[in-house]
Amino acid sequence: NLSDKLDKALHVLKGHGQITEINVAETTKEVRRALLDADVNFKIAKEFTNRVKEKALGQNVLTTLQPGQLMVKIVKDELTELMGGESEGINLSGNPSVILMSGLQGSGKTTFSGKLANFLKTKKSKNPLLVACDVYRPAAIDQLHVVGEQINVPVYSDRENNDPVAIAKAGIAKAKADGNNVVIIDTAGRLAVDEKMMNEISDIHKAINPQETLFVVDSMTGQDAVNTAKAFNDVLNFDGVILTKLDGDTRGGAAISIKSVVNKPIKFIGTGEKMEAIDIFYPSRMADRILGMGDVVSLVERAQEQFDEEEARKIQKKIAKNKFGFDDFLSQIQQIKKMGNMKDLMGMIPGAGKALKGLDIDDDAFKHIEAIIYSMTPDERSNPSKLNASRKKRIAKGSGREVQEVNQLLKQFDQMSKMMKMMQGGGGKKMMQMMSG
């Protein structure tokens, strides 16, 4: 996939102390090939790699200490830029705010209508109404009602009426009467772009003049997604793109190309069939993912959520005073375990995902370490330097582990203490560099 290929392309540069102009050219060529393989439009891929090359040569990549790091950063920044820079919200200024869904059949409009209603209700305290304008298949109306029931949001439909424009208008009137401040209009799509569908969505659009028109597209459709986006944009001049099915075997090409072809922001992504599987689109996170750097931002956020700040402060004080001991180490392990499944967490660390592929890590990974620490006396835990050969032997026996393992743990502990000291001294960056190799 794209990640692997970009990874390979950038591998040439990662860790090289010295790189040449030829290396830069080779790498950018590989990056371009990877983008093309991911269904990125040829012209976009070419322009992209040219910009990367220019930047790389211009920013003295050749003389920096870590050219690989800088190169990865340049590629990442350019990818982020290409996908839209800062993330943009949804216009909710209307009363009610009318949001119109558009897109091909099967792209995920009905599912996303429900997800968005649920998101606006739970995260933005809105009171949405869903409107069923897919009049061609009775099942489509049923589907929206099922979705509405799941999230406890009312649905307006009219099975006697086969004019989507009239239904959309009636739905908005109903929202006004019932005090719904958001109206989400789900429409019919067809399997491919055709005139009838375009006329219909265009008629609805003209008649209701929505605050926000969203184009929903299946991210697995690659280059086709770009053509479809263009066709819909020509008719609707829509406000934003919704990329669905990013939970599947994503090629990522759609995200990269769409923004540059229609010049409209990607606003949300769909990552599953459930109503909760919706995320705000962050170009830089997507760039990280595409680059296989792991979702560092999410990892840090999750860590921040889970780590007890008070505990962290105590530990910091101890490190500062050189009093960090095995009891603290133990409590750190317990904190880490609270953060979730080890394999998931490791996967978020740059580079680790690959190194650990095939390895069976379970949540018991720390069991042996804990056993060893539990076999130390409180005094030994606070003063690890006291651990001489005979004490180590005793601890090994007590915990049922080998002396070798005790030694290994002491070494790890030592490294960890050093690393934490470094972070204290504003060396966080250094730590990140170590992690990403």
Residue ranges that bind Mg ion, judged by CB under 5 A: 109-110
| Residue 109 in marked binding region | yes
User: In this structure, are residues 353 and 346 in contact, taking their beta carbons and an 8 Å threshold?
Assistant: yes
| Residue 298 in marked binding region | no
The two three-digit tokens of residue 348, written as one number? 């978020």
Q: How far is the CB of 174 from ligand GDP (least distance, A)?
A: 21
Strands (E), 123-223: 128-132, 155-156, 182-186, 212-218
Residue 376 φ then ψ, to 5°: -90, 150
Closer to Mg ion by Cβ: residue 49 or 110: 110
| Residue 190 in marked binding region | yes
Question: Is 250 near ligand GDP (CB under 6 A)?
Answer: no
User: In this structure, are residues 80 and 283 in contact, taking their beta carbons and an 8 Å threshold?
Assistant: yes
Spatial distance between the Cα atoms of 312 and 211, rounded to a whole number of angstroms: 46
| Residue 158 in marked binding region | no
Closer to ligand GDP by Cβ: residue 110 or 118: 110
* x/- track of binding to ligand GDP for residues 215-244 (CB under 6 A): -----------------------------x
Q: Which residues pair with 241 in a beta bridge?
A: 215, 266
The site partner of 244 among ligand GDP, Mg ion, none (C-beta below 5 to 8 Å per kind) is ligand GDP
The two three-digit tokens of residue 304, written as one number? 């921040």
The site partner of 292 among ligand GDP, Mg ion, none (C-beta below 5 to 8 Å per kind) is none
| Residue 110 in marked binding region | yes
Q: Give the largest CA-CA distance in the chain.
A: 87
> Exactly one of 5, 126, 205, 245 binds ligand GDP (CB under 6 A); which one?
245
The site partner of 23 among Mg ion, ligand GDP, none (C-beta below 5 to 8 Å per kind) is none
DSSP string, 329-364: HHHHHHHHHHT--HHHHHHHSTTHHHHTTT----TT
Q: How far is the CB of 292 from ligand GDP (least distance, A)?
A: 21
In this chain, which stretch among 49-57, 74-82, 108-116, 171-179 interacts with ligand GDP, using CB under 6 A?
108-116
DSSP string, 13-25: TTT-S---HHHHH
**Residues of the shown chain interacting with ligand GDP in the complex, contacts defined by CB under 6 A:** 103, 105-111, 189, 244-245, 247-248, 270-273, 277
